């Protein structure tokens, strides 16, 4: 944990709220478990903030799956189409990334899915597979209510999307209709999943002990394998297997005020000025969309107090979201006693030419507080799920830019989990190298296997 002994009492007073104590972590874990159980309950799910959505994915890969599969991965401004050839544990994969223009993200639903179908056509044409009808797994990384493995209704858009006519609709149907409108290729849509489930499945293909998936990137969410006996919402035949992956949608934890006890003035300001005010409170403390902004808000207060840049306010920092989360990762990527990278970012990226070495050190200190808090809260969430699952060994598959590129998040999360997990529950955090797209294809492969 970062120390504050070298800073003035005023700096310490301003930054102290960004620290979380062990007692606060224990309270977060207790409240999260309470919310999880509420989300799993049939009579309490409607009012639960964490929706604990059954994904209908009931088995992880055995490593014996074979065949060619298509996968789509939509969760932001980049959309990916993949062709995956499985031969047991061996995976051959080709893919192409397509841009989703802002006018498509914010236009009509028909326009969005027509764009997706056009990208699919271009990829399949390049791969020479237009004449084949392949099983398709669709990673759709937005909050959805699963109606079955291959059917999911969008609950609400996030991440800047607002295409009309999609919320409340089955995204599988919308995709099929767009493909039908073209009439020049076809697919067999087998599964619609979100990126956390895809990440879990991708890691489970190489590591069978993977029972939890986590995304810490632009947004933050988790999923895990739950016993069916605990899933009161399950309305299908309970047959085998007696477990199902639950998409927690845990970013909404705290939307009922449960996390107010650790929210700072910076968190409140960020929330009040966001496009989704009052929502995704937990995510706003952890994810890449928000960490840089929390740093900026803290820097503003330090400048106003005369503790940074000699009290002179740089115009750039008055601009919302001008301090990018990638700066946090870059600043903390050099040894703790160095500030060269931070000084360079302040000068070259932000145009702040009057920053002293002490200023750069204080900016680094604020970055470390914000990222340490995010890591501790993410670790608390993982520890809560591990304790709930009670598995003797669990690998946690993790994807997302914050986990992947911040030099200390893995270490800090591991330290938090070690402090709060039941000693009987061994764990390992594993970076998902192949992303959630591969997982969507594996889900299609597992679904095909279960039907045979």
Positions marked active-site? 80, 141, 195
CA pair distance 53, 62, nearest whole angstrom: 24
Q: Which residues of 394-433 are buried (b: 16+ CB within 10 A; e: fewer)?
A: bbbbbbbbbbbbbebbeebbbbbbeebbeeebebebbebe
CA dihedral of residues 267, 269, 274, 280 (deg, nearest 10): 30
**Cα gap 317→143, rounded to integer Å:** 33
Rounded Cα distance between 307 and 419, Å, is 34
Helices (H), 55-108: 102-105
Whether the CB-CB separation of 397 and 200 falls below 8 Å is answered with yes
d(CA 22, CA 420): 9
Sign of CA pseudo-dihedral 6, 10, 11, 14: positive
- 271, 277 Cβ separation under 8 angstroms: yes
The rounded distance, in Å, linking the Cα atoms of 150 and 170 is 10
CA distances from 49 to 35, 265, 344, 359 (A): 7, 22, 42, 40
Question: What does the DSSP assignment read for 259-309?
Answer: TGGG--HHHHHHHHTSTTTTS-TTHHHHSTTTHHHHHHHHHHHHHHTT-SG
What is the DSSP secondary-structure string of 184-249? S---EEEEEE-HHHHHHHHHHHH-TTEEEEEEESSSEEEEEEEEGGG-TT--S---SS-EEEEE--
What the block records as the tokens of 48 is 């639960």
Q: Which two tokens stand for residue 359?
A: 């200023």
Q: By C-alpha distance, which of 102, 136, 103 is closest to 117?
A: 136
Q: How many CB atoms lie within 10 A of CB 102?
A: 11
Residue written as token pair 């597992």: 446
């Amino acid at each position: 944990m970062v120390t504050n002994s070298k800073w003035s009492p005023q700096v310490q007073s301003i930054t102290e709220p960004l620290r979380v104590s062990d007692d606060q972590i224990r309270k977060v874990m207790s409240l999260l478990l309470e919310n999880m159980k509420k989300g799993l309950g049939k009579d309490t799910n409607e009012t639960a903030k964490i929706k604990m959505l059954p994904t209908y994915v009931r088995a992880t890969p055995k490593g014996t799956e074979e065949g060619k599969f298509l996968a789509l991965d939509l969760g932001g401004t980049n959309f990916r189409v993949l062709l995956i050839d499985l031969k047991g544990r061996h995976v051959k994969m080709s893919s192409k990334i397509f841009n989703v223009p802002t006018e498509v993200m914010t236009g009509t639903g028909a326009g969005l899915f027509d764009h997706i179908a056009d990208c699919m056509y271009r990829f399949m044409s390049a791969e020479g597979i237009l004449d084949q009808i392949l099983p398709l797994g669709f990673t759709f990384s937005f909050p959805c209510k699963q109606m079955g493995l291959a059917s999911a209704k969008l609950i609400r858009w996030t991440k800047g999307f607002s295409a009309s006519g999609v919320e409340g609709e089955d995204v599988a149907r919308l995709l099929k209709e767009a493909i039908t409108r073209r009439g020049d290729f076809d697919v067999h849509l087998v599964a619609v999943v979100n990126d956390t489930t895809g990440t879990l499945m991708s890691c489970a293909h190489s590591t069978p002990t993977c029972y939890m998936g986590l995304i810490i990137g632009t947004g933050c969410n988790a999923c895990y394998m739950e016993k069916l006996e605990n899933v009161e919402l399950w309305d299908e035949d309970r047959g085998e297997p007696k477990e199902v992956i639950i998409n927690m949608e845990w970013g909404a934890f705290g939307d009922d005020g449960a996390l107010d006890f650790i929210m700072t003035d910076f968190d409140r300001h960020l929330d009040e000025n966001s496009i989704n005010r009052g929502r995704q409170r937990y995510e706003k403390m952890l994810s890449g969309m928000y960490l840089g902004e929390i740093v900026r808000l803290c820097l503003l207060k330090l400048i106003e107090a005369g503790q940074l840049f000699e009290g002179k306010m740089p115009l750039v920092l008055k601009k919302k979201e001008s301090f990018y989360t990638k700066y946090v990762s870059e600043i903390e990527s050099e040894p703790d006693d160095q500030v060269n990278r931070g000084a360079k970012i302040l000068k070259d990226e932000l145009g702040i030419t009057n920053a002293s070495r002490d200023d750069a050190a204080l900016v680094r200190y604020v970055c470390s507080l914000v990222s340490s808090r995010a890591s501790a809260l993410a670790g608390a969430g993982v520890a809560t799920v591990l304790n709930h699952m009670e598995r003797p060994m669990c690998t946690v598959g993790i994807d997302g830019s914050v986990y992947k590129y911040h030099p200390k998040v893995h270490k800090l999360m591991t330290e938090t989990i070690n402090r709060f997990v039941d000693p009987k529950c061994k764990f390992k955090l594993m970076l998902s190298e192949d992303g959630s797209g591969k997982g969507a294809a594996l889900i299609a492969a597992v679904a095909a296997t279960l039907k045979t």
